[in-house]
């Protein structure tokens, strides 16, 4: 491949992987299987290795994802929480063992093999045997403090048993949900007409990050512990000893664990694990093979991201072959055309699969999927099944490449390919499929969360032309509801009450629900916090928007374009006319708002405060914290080793203060 095309692909992959990281870590709503995700990462790592002159800091191959969300305190891990390298192949695994043995100049290294739990990573700190903190992995350096939620986990002891405890220990493990509990909660939701959770991992991740304590208490989570962070003083010297110690302290550990020697020994254990994993309490998506001795682990060390002494061997998701009968095109709420494979029904991982996503035009072209082909489908972690590849040997003699439609199948409008995007879109905002999609999104759990306004109800309301945009929901009457299938007095009243109640939602939910391009839940939260109202958002310029933490150029232009469209303005006005009254996040009172209208930039290492703390202090006094210095910056708070920002601030004549001065100003 040429350098130019490598570069283009690298950029595409980085953007794509970042998007999937956000979906998986922050939103707990992944779109693709782990296998496909790992494939994208592998392709990127290979391209980056072939182009070593390119800057790497910005690459998702250099970091773990970030699970931190609004509403939790950040807490810095004493030792970073790393990720693991992974492989799906025996050859690569054998090469890993060879590297370890070569690095240590030994043969038949001792390893432990244990399940890889598909849950949410967490680090517990026990001081003098008492649980003081539970923190998510976050970005590996600092995570969200979820102690209050973790205390609801029944199997997690608040104090370690016995009287032999280190002064301080970080114990790492995985929070997960039992399949039975997952099914129980989903059955309850089905009865209430609510959207279903896709798999136990997403539900566990969503639950541990809930701000509603009562709801957390109702959902049963569980935990297993396997890893060690900081420990003062050190008390064990190998994986095996550590596991025994965890048991003595009364902590839950993985139920099966193998002690093995060399590559062959380890591989047999991996295979055995694959056979028995169906019986484990937790979802298991692989095996983790670790060098047993801590001194050997230390001798090998780690890369910026993962230890050199461990590897995850992942089990590929279950796959099945079937015939692709037709390709249909779905039109989403933003007008994106998604190709869907209509399949001859086939049994896969316990369910019958008759449809699978083909992702987008580019993916389809890459796999050259054709009608009549025999394809391999896969379902990973109960996510929507996907077509993995075509079995070319079984391709019928006469077959033709699929021609992607030039007109929207729902409304007939000519479709457009937008520069820099993979998606092909229908740009007609009145397209019935888009209208349906927008309504479903608006009412969904991550937005206005209107109970009872799910897919089936929206379909009917749109088909009967009772509603054609989101504001029409607020004009619905009792009689409209009674006319719907399966609606009786009670369900109609409940839905009306839920619609009424949604007028008082938190502002970010409304912003997310509007369906502004690029504005997902986390951007909506950033916007709500910074601007405090829909009117403020609609009047903000691109320049103002990019000053907000978390908002980039693309999102900013998406927002301005959205409010520049008269039709959107009409809908927003109608929402407010109907009585929409969203709750803005709390703002500091006038008296506290001594930094109102002032923009700060914080740089370097401050003597006592963490940067997040300084930021919170400025914000609590009504000030804003921006990421870069410009003419609009009022103060630069500079600590040790302040670099280019300090130089720039000085050249622009921005007032530079240190931590002590900041504290003094805040106290005035
Ligand atoms: S050991 C230095 N053991 O998988 C990292 N991790 O994909 C040591 N995981 O970040 C991690 N089960 O969150 C380890 N038995 C196990 C695990 C496990 C699940 C998670 C963990 C890790 C991620 C890497």
- Best CA proximity match to 423, nearest among 296, 333, 538: 333
Pocket flag, ligand 1, residue 174 (CB < 6 Å): yes
Report if residue 583 sits inside a domain: no
- Name which residue sits closest to atom 10 of ligand 1, judged by CA: 83
Best of 172, 201, 227 for a ligand 1 pocket test (most atoms within 8 Å of beta carbon) = 227
Report if residue 588 sits inside a domain: no
604: left (phi over 0), alpha (psi -120 to 50) or beta: left
* CATH code of residue 367: 2.40.50.140
Considering the domain architecture, whether residues 100 and 205 belong to the same structural domain is answered as yes
Considering the domain architecture, whether residues 363 and 299 belong to the same structural domain is answered as no
Given this model, what pLDDT does residue 503 score? 97
For residue 407, the cross-strand partners are 414
Pocket flag, ligand 1, residue 243 (CB < 6 Å): no
Give Cα separations from 158 to 134, 208, 556 (angstroms).
11, 17, 46
pLDDT tens digits for range 580-602: 999 988 766 666 688 888 899 99
Choose one of 314, 338, 369: the last residue of a domain: 314
Q: What is the mean pLDDT of the chain?
A: 89
Report if residue 427 sits inside a domain: no
CB 585 within 8 A of CB 511: no
Average of per-residue pLDDT across 359-363: 82
Best of 41, 116, 283 for a ligand 1 pocket test (most atoms within 8 Å of beta carbon) = 116
* CATH code of residue 492: 1.10.150.20
pLDDT range class, residue 624, cuts 50, 70, 90: confident
For residue 329, the enclosing domain spans 318-409
Residue 76 three-state SS: strand
Taking the chain, what is the end-to-end CA distance rounded to the nearest angstrom?
62
Pocket flag, ligand 1, residue 138 (CB < 6 Å): no
Report if residue 582 sits inside a domain: no
Considering the domain architecture, whether residues 209 and 90 belong to the same structural domain is answered as yes
Choose one of 267, 299, 314: the last residue of a domain: 314
Pocket flag, ligand 1, residue 170 (CB < 6 Å): no
Considering the domain architecture, whether residues 354 and 437 belong to the same structural domain is answered as no
pLDDT tens digits for range 146-157: 999 999 999 999
CB 67 within 8 A of CB 25: yes
Pocket flag, ligand 1, residue 117 (CB < 6 Å): yes
Q: Find the helix or strand (DSSP H, E) in which 232 lies.
A: strand 222-232
Given this model, what pLDDT does residue 299 score? 97
Top-confidence residue, 20 or 352: 20
| Active site members | 116
Given this model, what pLDDT does residue 422 score? 72
Considering the domain architecture, whether residues 307 and 284 belong to the same structural domain is answered as yes
Give Cα separations from 446 to 104, 440, 621 (angstroms).
50, 11, 30
Report if residue 23 sits inside a domain: yes
* Separation of alpha carbons 262 and 267, rounded Å: 9
Considering the domain architecture, whether residues 252 and 364 belong to the same structural domain is answered as no
* Separation of alpha carbons 431 and 440, rounded Å: 14
Handedness of CA 164, 169, 172, 173 (dihedral sign): positive
> Which span out of 120-129, 555-564, 586-595, 650-659 was modeled with the highest average pLDDT?
120-129
Given this model, what pLDDT does residue 502 score? 97
**Dist. CA 209 → ligand 1 center (Å):** 19
pLDDT tens digits for range 394-415: 999 999 999 999 999 999 999 9
CB 175 within 8 A of CB 189: no
pTM of the model: 0.57
**Dist. CA 25 → ligand 1 center (Å):** 15
Handedness of CA 191, 194, 197, 198 (dihedral sign): positive
**Dist. CA 24 → ligand 1 center (Å):** 16
* CATH code of residue 47: 1.10.287.610
pLDDT tens digits for range 171-192: 999 999 987 888 788 767 655 5
Q: For residue 427, how many other CB atoms are within 10 A of its CB?
A: 13
Nearest 5 degrees, angle CA 213-CA 218-CA 222? Answer: 95
Nearest 5 degrees, angle CA 588-CA 591-CA 593? Answer: 45
Residue 522 has pLDDT above 80, yes or no: no
pLDDT range class, residue 109, cuts 50, 70, 90: very high
pLDDT tens digits for range 228-240: 999 999 999 999 9
Q: Find the helix or strand (DSSP H, E) in which 415 lies.
A: strand 415-417
Handedness of CA 248, 250, 251, 254 (dihedral sign): positive
* Separation of alpha carbons 166 and 278, rounded Å: 36
* CATH code of residue 611: 3.40.50.10190
Pocket flag, ligand 1, residue 312 (CB < 6 Å): yes
Considering the domain architecture, whether residues 226 and 364 belong to the same structural domain is answered as no
* Separation of alpha carbons 94 and 221, rounded Å: 36
Considering the domain architecture, whether residues 322 and 461 belong to the same structural domain is answered as no
Pocket flag, ligand 1, residue 286 (CB < 6 Å): no
Report if residue 91 sits inside a domain: yes
Task: Please give the full DSSP string across 39-51, using - where no structure is assigned.
Answer: HHHHHHHHHHHH-
Choose one of 287, 314, 341: the last residue of a domain: 314
Pocket flag, ligand 1, residue 83 (CB < 6 Å): yes
Considering the domain architecture, whether residues 229 and 88 belong to the same structural domain is answered as yes
Burial status of residue 235 (CB atoms within 10 A of its CB: 0-12, 13-18, 19 or more): middle
- Domain count across the chain: 5
Pocket flag, ligand 1, residue 390 (CB < 6 Å): no
Q: Find the helix or strand (DSSP H, E) in which 567 lies.
A: helix 566-577
Given this model, what pLDDT does residue 242 score? 97
Given this model, what pLDDT does residue 350 score? 63
**Dist. CA 426 → ligand 1 center (Å):** 42
Q: How is residue 546 written in tokens? A: 């990019």
Report if residue 584 sits inside a domain: no
Report if residue 396 sits inside a domain: yes
Best of 223, 273, 288 for a ligand 1 pocket test (most atoms within 8 Å of beta carbon) = 288
pLDDT tens digits for range 530-543: 999 999 999 999 99
Considering the domain architecture, whether residues 309 and 324 belong to the same structural domain is answered as no
Pocket flag, ligand 1, residue 302 (CB < 6 Å): no
pLDDT tens digits for range 192-209: 555 567 778 888 998 999
Ligand 1 nearest-atom number relative to CA 302: 2
Q: How is residue 405 written in tokens? A: 């439609």
Considering the domain architecture, whether residues 265 and 329 belong to the same structural domain is answered as no
Percent of the chain with pLDDT over 70: 96
Residue 265 has pLDDT above 80, yes or no: yes
pLDDT range class, residue 636, cuts 50, 70, 90: very high
Given this model, what pLDDT does residue 379 score? 75
Considering the domain architecture, whether residues 162 and 238 belong to the same structural domain is answered as yes
- Name which residue sits closest to atom 23 of ligand 1, judged by CA: 83
Given this model, what pLDDT does residue 215 score? 81
Lowest mean pLDDT among 37-46, 262-271, 431-440, 581-590: 581-590
**Dist. CA 419 → ligand 1 center (Å):** 39
**Dist. CA 83 → ligand 1 center (Å):** 7
Residue 420 has pLDDT above 90, yes or no: no
Top-confidence residue, 57 or 216: 216
- Name which residue sits closest to atom 7 of ligand 1, judged by CA: 84
Pocket flag, ligand 1, residue 202 (CB < 6 Å): no
Average of per-residue pLDDT across 419-433: 84
Lowest mean pLDDT among 41-50, 195-204, 600-609: 195-204
pLDDT tens digits for range 473-487: 999 999 999 888 888
Lowest mean pLDDT among 18-22, 72-76, 120-124: 18-22
Strands 374-379, 318-331: pairing is antiparallel
* CATH code of residue 126: 3.30.470.30
Residue 383 has pLDDT above 70, yes or no: no
- Name which residue sits closest to atom 6 of ligand 1, judged by CA: 116
pLDDT range class, residue 326, cuts 50, 70, 90: very high
Torsion angle in degrees (nearest 10) through CA of 98, 104, 108, 112 = -90
- Best CA proximity match to 285, nearest among 135, 17, 97, 86: 86
């Amino acid at each position: 491949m040429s350098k130019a095309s490598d570069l283009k692909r690298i950029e595409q992959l980085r953007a794509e992987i970042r998007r999937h990281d956000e979906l998986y870590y922050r939103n707990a709503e992944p779109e693709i299987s782990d296998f496909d995700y790992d494939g994208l990462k592998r392709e990127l790592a290979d391209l980056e290795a072939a182009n070593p002159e390119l800057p790497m800091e910005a690459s998702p191959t250099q970091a773990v994802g970030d699970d931190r969300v609004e509403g939790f305190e950040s807490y810095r891990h004493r030792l970073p929480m790393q990720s693991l390298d992974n492989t799906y192949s025996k050859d690569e695994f054998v090469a890993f063992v060879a590297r370890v043995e070569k690095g240590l100049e030994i043969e038949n290294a001792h390893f432990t093999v244990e399940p890889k739990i598909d849950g949410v990573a967490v680090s517990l700190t026990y001081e003098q045997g008492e649980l003081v903190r539970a923190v998510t992995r976050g970005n590996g350096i600092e995570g969200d403090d979820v102690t209050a939620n973790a205390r609801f986990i029944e199997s997690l002891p608040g104090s370690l048993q016995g009287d032999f405890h280190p002064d301080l220990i970080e114990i790492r493990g995985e929070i997960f949900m039992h399949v039975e509990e997952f099914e129980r909660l989903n059955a309850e939701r089905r009865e209430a007409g609510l959207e279903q959770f896709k798999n136990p991992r997403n539900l566990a991740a969503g639950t541990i990050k809930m701000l509603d304590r009562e709801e957390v208490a109702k959902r049963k989570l569980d935990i297993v512990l396997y890893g060690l962070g900081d420990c003062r003083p050190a008390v064990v010297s190998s994986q095996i000893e550590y596991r025994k110690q965890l048991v003595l302290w009364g902590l839950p550990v993985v139920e099966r664990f193998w002690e093995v020697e060399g590559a062959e020994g380890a591989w047999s254990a991996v295979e055995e694990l694959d056979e028995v994993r169906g019986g484990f309490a937790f979802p298991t998506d692989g095996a983790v093979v670790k060098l047993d001795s801590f001194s050997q682990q230390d001798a090998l060390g780690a890369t910026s991201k993962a230890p050199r002494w461990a590897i995850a061997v992942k089990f590929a998701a279950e796959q099945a072959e079937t015939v692709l009968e037709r390709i249909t095109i779905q039109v989403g709420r933003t007008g994106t055309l998604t190709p869907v494979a209509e399949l001859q029904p086939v049994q896969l991982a316990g369910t019958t699969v008759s449809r699978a996503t083909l992702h987008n035009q580019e993916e389809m072209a890459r796999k050259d999927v054709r009608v009549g082909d025999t394809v391999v489908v896969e379902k990973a972690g109960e996510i929507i099944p996907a077509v993995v590849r075509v079995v070319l040997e079984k391709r019928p003699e006469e077959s033709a490449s699929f021609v992607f439609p030039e007109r929207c199948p729902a409304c007939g409008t000519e479709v457009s390919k937008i520069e820099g995007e993979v998606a092909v879109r229908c740009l007609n905002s009145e397209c019935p499929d888009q209208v349906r999609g927008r309504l479903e999104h608006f009412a969904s759990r991550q937005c206005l969360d209107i109970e009872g306004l799910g897919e089936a109800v929206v379909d009917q309301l749109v088909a009967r032309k009772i509603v054609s945009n989101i504001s029409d929901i607020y004009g619905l009457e009792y009689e409209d509801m009674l006319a719907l299938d399966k609606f009786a007095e009670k369900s109609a009243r409940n839905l009306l009450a839920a619609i009424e109640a949604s007028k008082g939602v938190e502002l970010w939910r409304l912003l997310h629900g509007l369906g502004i391009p690029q504005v997902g839940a986390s951007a909506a939260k950033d916007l709500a916090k910074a601007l405090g109202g829909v009117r403020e958002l609609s009047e903000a310029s691109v320049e103002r928007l990019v000053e907000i933490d978390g908002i980039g150029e693309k999102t900013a232009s998406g927002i301005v374009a959205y409010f520049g469209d008269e039709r959107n303005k009409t809908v927003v006005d109608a929402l407010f006319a109907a009585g929409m009254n969203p709750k803005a996040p709390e703002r500091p009172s006038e008296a506290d708002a001594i930094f109102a209208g002032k923009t700060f930039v914080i740089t370097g290492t401050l003597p006592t405060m963490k940067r997040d703390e300084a930021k919170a202090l400025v914000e609590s006094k009504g000030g804003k914290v921006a990421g870069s210095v410009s003419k609009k910056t009022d103060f630069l708070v500079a600590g040790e080793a302040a670099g280019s920002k300090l130089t720039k601030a000085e050249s622009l004549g921005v007032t530079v203060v240190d931590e002590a001065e900041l504290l003094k100003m805040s106290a005035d």
